[in-house]
Amino acid sequence: MANVSMPQLGETVADGTVTKWFKAVGEHVERGETLFEVSTDKVDTEIPSPASGTLTAILVAAGTTVDVGTVLATIGDAETGATDEHSTSSTPPSSTPPSSRGARAAGAQRTTGLSPVVRRLLAEHQLEAADITATGPDGRLTRSDVLAYVAAGTATPAVTSAPATSPVVRRLLAEHQLEAIDVKATGPDGRLTRRDVEAAIAKRSSATGDEEIPFTKIRALTAEHMVRSKATSAHTLMVREVDYERVELVRRAWGPDFKRDEGFSLTYLPFNAMAAVEALADFPHLNASVGDQRLIVHRERHLGIAVDLDGDGLVVPVVRGADRLGLVEMARAIRDLAQRARTKRLSPDEAAGGTFTITNPGPYGTLMTGAVINQPQVAILATDGVARKPVVVRDASGGESIAIHSVGLLAITFDHRVIDGAYAARFLRRVDEILNTRDWRGA
């Protein structure tokens, strides 16, 4: 038997919330196949199965928050679905009829001292402790004894009018004045899940013309972080118009080969990221965070890239050592992190430790964005839409003419407690200079 535990998803992560199970009890699962989803205070992550076999028990319902290391489920033998003979249970699962169980009553009828986990499993599967062979010390019934009994097919999962519910489910029911019996349960063993309650809430709300959509954990955390940031920092917005024509010429020249080799398009984002990271070397107070009445200037330049999760919230994966990357490496790193964030393959550690952040609404054609600072950092740069516009250009002799160039806005939101306007303005000017003078062909 293999135990499935809450993984250590990051150095600073002590617990996680099981938000979804992708398999039900009795279903086969392959090693490496997605088994469940975990939400932390940083990211949502899909967790693969540690072994192949039959999912014999789910011990933690969706919507429940538990500590790292907590056993969440068990997976039995891949061939039979029964518990592995090398598991903690030393006695094979019982399948004898009730009439023949009296011979082992001495050990099995000791029901005192049952652990909370054992009591919950007995209740979920409508079992009596006396019906199961106890193999623990002093004849105690263990979790493995109950799971072995269930895996043998002797027990019938309970589907009652009042299925077991998690604290999150009970809270949602109370907040929306719903009864558990009135909500269709789709979870393992007839359990009521958070999504079941949310579906019932949405269905009831739609009848009145309004739809109520409860916050997901990542949306609730995003909301809390945004409000706290605005309450913490003296947000100030500064914007500079940038001529992207030199960058555009490189994109046109390299674009087809880049897409052929890399499988995705060369956008403006890696150019902006490279220029911003280089400019931070000249303006280190923007590569910093705020401590207790002090500014902490970071030696490393770890670039956060804000990623939208299709309306469900924001995460900010981090390109570590961004100043050591070339243009192609930067483009690859940004795309990889964004894709894994959206497919829930990102670890919490990959969304921690950023020293400066870029948000990129530009692909949606935005004009100017006043982004919210990613605490405890002191600034965030928004890269908005780039469009073809008429501009005044000067030749070598100083003559002026009108030309059509690619033009966009760079908007920096900074913490005016520690950064003054002139400092932020010079930073934007430096980013502009880098975009227009760097030899991007050799980047």
> What positions carry a catalytic annotation?
416, 420
**Cα–Cα distance, 225 to 240 (Å, whole number):** 27
| 18 DSSP β-pair partners | 38, 64
φ, ψ of residue 172 in degrees (nearest 5): -60, -40
| Dihedral of the alpha carbons of 341, 343, 345, 348, in degrees to the nearest 10 | 40
**Cα–Cα distance, 75 to 29 (Å, whole number):** 8
The DSSP output letter for 272 is H
**Cα–Cα distance, 50 to 128 (Å, whole number):** 31
Which tokens is 352 given?
């921690």
**Cα–Cα distance, 174 to 39 (Å, whole number):** 23
**Cα–Cα distance, 190 to 197 (Å, whole number):** 13
The DSSP output letter for 235 is E
Give which of 433, 434, 410, 417 is closest to 285, Cα–Cα.
417
- Name 265's Cβ contacts closer than 8 Å, sequence gap at least 6: 255, 258, 259
The DSSP output letter for 268 is S
| 67 DSSP β-pair partners | 15
**Cα–Cα distance, 289 to 417 (Å, whole number):** 11
Distances (CA, A) of 314 to 43, 111, 125, 309, 350: 9, 49, 40, 6, 14
Helix-strand-coil percent breakdown of the chain, rounded to 5?
35, 25, 40
The CB density around residue 82, as the number of other CB atoms within 10 Å, is 19
Residue 426, helix vs strand vs coil: helix
- Name 373's Cβ contacts closer than 8 Å, sequence gap at least 6: 229, 233, 235, 357, 379, 380, 413, 414, 415
Give which of 165, 235, 155 is closest to 200, Cα–Cα.
165
Residue 23, helix vs strand vs coil: coil
